[in-house]
Amino acid sequence: MKALLDELVGSLNEIIAVVLTTTDGFPLGFASKIPIDAEREAAAIASLASLSTRSTDLAGIGPAEEILITSEIGRIFVYPIGELTAIGIITVRDVTTALVLLKVRQLLPEIEAELERLLGDRTGGSV
C-alpha cells in the first residue's frame, strides 16, 4: 500500500500528502512530502467521509463522491472508497481539481485490490 500512496503523492507536484483510512478513523497508510500527524488526519478524513454520507442521504441526492475543502493555502480532497474506507489528498491551493480525481481514479483499481487483500471483500465499491 505504501508504494501506491507514494506513487500518488509523486504523480503531481501539487499533491502534498495522501492518507488512506477506515471510516472508523484508523489509518491504513499514508505518504507525505511534509511531516503530518497521519493518525489525526485519518480521523478527520473519516469524519468528513461519514458526515458527507449522512448529509447526502438526508438530502436524497445519492452517495457522496468527493468532498473538497479549500483553505487559504491549500485544499483537502476526500474520496469515500466503498463503505469502509476513504482517501484524503492534501494539495496546494492552485491544483487543478480534475487532475487530482484523474490520478485517484488511475490508481484506484490497485488501491482497491490492496484493500481487498488487507480487509477482505468488504470495501463495497469505488470512487
Residue found by looking up cell 469505488 in the block: 126
pTM for this structure?
0.88
Q: Which residues does 61 contact at the CB level (< 8 Å), separation at least 6? A: none
Does domain 2-119 fall into CATH 3.20.20.10? no
Where does residue 125 rank: exposed (0-12), middle (13-18), buried (19+ CB within 10 A)?
exposed
Can you list the alpha helix ranges (DSSP code H) found in 1-127?
A: 2-11, 38-59, 97-119
- What is the average pLDDT value for the chain, to the nearest integer? 91
Domain ranges of the chain: 2-119
Residue 125 has pLDDT above 80, yes or no: no
